[in-house]
Structure 1
Amino acid sequence: MAATQEETIKLLTTAYSMELETVMNYLANSVNLDGIRAEEIKKSLSAEVADELLHAQRLANRIKQLGGKVPGSTSVVLGGQQQPPDDTTDVVSVIKAVIDAEEGAIAHYRKIIKATDGEDYVTQDLCVQLLGDEEGHLILFRGFLKEYDK
């Protein structure tokens, strides 16, 4: 059964919050990580910040188009993701946190795609596009982790 417009807005709002939390964590890790082994991860995270922010903007626009209200800082729900580690040289924890965040986003976009199937093709198309981006990010960071699992 397809989601109602109100349910779709709620799902999109959750995705919006997830993207903003990702932006904050990726930004923090792209600055805080130390060490030579961290340089490539920092560069990748820095590039991902812009992608994730664009995702949040696209979700915000769709929320508004559907008649919803985009939440401000006091209404955004945060805390669902692993936080940057205290040890600024712990590159593996950062990579694993990124993988976890990307897997969470993928699962949520799949949920929205399923909920809007046959009803809201615009939202569904948006989420299919975002899903593709997140799958690309996941593959990239799984590749980074392979180097550390040797």
Structure 2
Amino acid sequence: MAASREEVVELLKTAYCMELETVMNYLANSTNLDGVRAEEIKKSLSADIVEELGHAQQLAKRMKQLGGAVPGSASVTVGNQIQPPEITTDVVGVIKAVISAEESAIEQYTKIIKATDGADYVTQDLCITLMADEEEHLVLFRGFLMEYDR
């Protein structure tokens, strides 16, 4: 059974908050990381900030189209992701945090895809597209991790 419009908006709000938290953590990590080995990770995270913010914008637009309200800063829930490490040379910790964030985003988009199946094809299509982006990031960062695990 498909979720109600209100339930879909709530699922989208969760995804929206996750995307904003990702933007904050990627910004922190792309700035804070130190060391020669960190440069490629920093560049990748900097590029991903724009894409993740774009995801949040698309989710916000869809929430509004469904009659919901986009939450402001007082209503955004964050703190569920692995936080930037205190040790600024912990490149592996950052990579693992990115992998965790991408896996969580994929899980949330999967929930929305299932909740909208057969009822809200626009939201479902949007989340399939966003999930594909997250899967691409996941593969990239798993590749980075393999280089460090050798």
* TM-score bracket for this pair, using the shorter chain length: over 0.9
Counterpart-to-counterpart distance in 2, 1:5 and 1:36: 48
Counterpart-to-counterpart distance in 2, 1:73 and 1:135: 27
Q: 1:84 corresponds to which letter in structure 2? A: P
The equivalent of 1:27 in structure 2 is 27
Q: Return the TM-score normalized by structure 1.
A: 1.00
Say which SS state the counterpart of residue 74 (structure 2) adopts. Answer: coil
The equivalent of 1:11 in structure 2 is 11
Deviation at 1:53, TM superposition (A): 0.1
Write out aligned runs for 1:1-150 (5 A). 1-150=1-150
Deviation at 1:143, TM superposition (A): 0.2
Counterpart-to-counterpart distance in 2, 1:66 and 1:72: 17
Counterpart-to-counterpart distance in 2, 1:80 and 1:124: 24
Deviation at 1:85, TM superposition (A): 0.2
Identity of aligned residues (%): 73
Q: 2:16 corresponds to which letter in structure 1? A: Y
Counterpart-to-counterpart distance in 1, 2:38 and 2:112: 34
Say which SS state the counterpart of residue 74 (structure 1) adopts. Answer: helix
Cα RMSD between the aligned structures?
0.3
Runs of 4+ in structure 1 deviating by more than 2 angstroms, as ranges, are none
Counterpart-to-counterpart distance in 2, 1:115 and 1:39: 40
Q: 1:137 corresponds to which letter in structure 2? A: H
Cα deviations across residues 36-70 of structure 1 (Å, max 9, x unaligned)?
Answer: 00000000000000000000000000000000000
Deviation at 1:19, TM superposition (A): 0.1
Counterpart-to-counterpart distance in 2, 1:115 and 1:69: 19
**What is the count of residue pairs matched by the alignment?**
150
* Unpaired runs of at least 5, structure 1: none
Counterpart-to-counterpart distance in 2, 1:60 and 1:111: 17
Deviation at 1:5, TM superposition (A): 0.1
Q: Return the TM-score normalized by structure 2.
A: 1.00
Counterpart-to-counterpart distance in 1, 2:70 and 2:76: 9
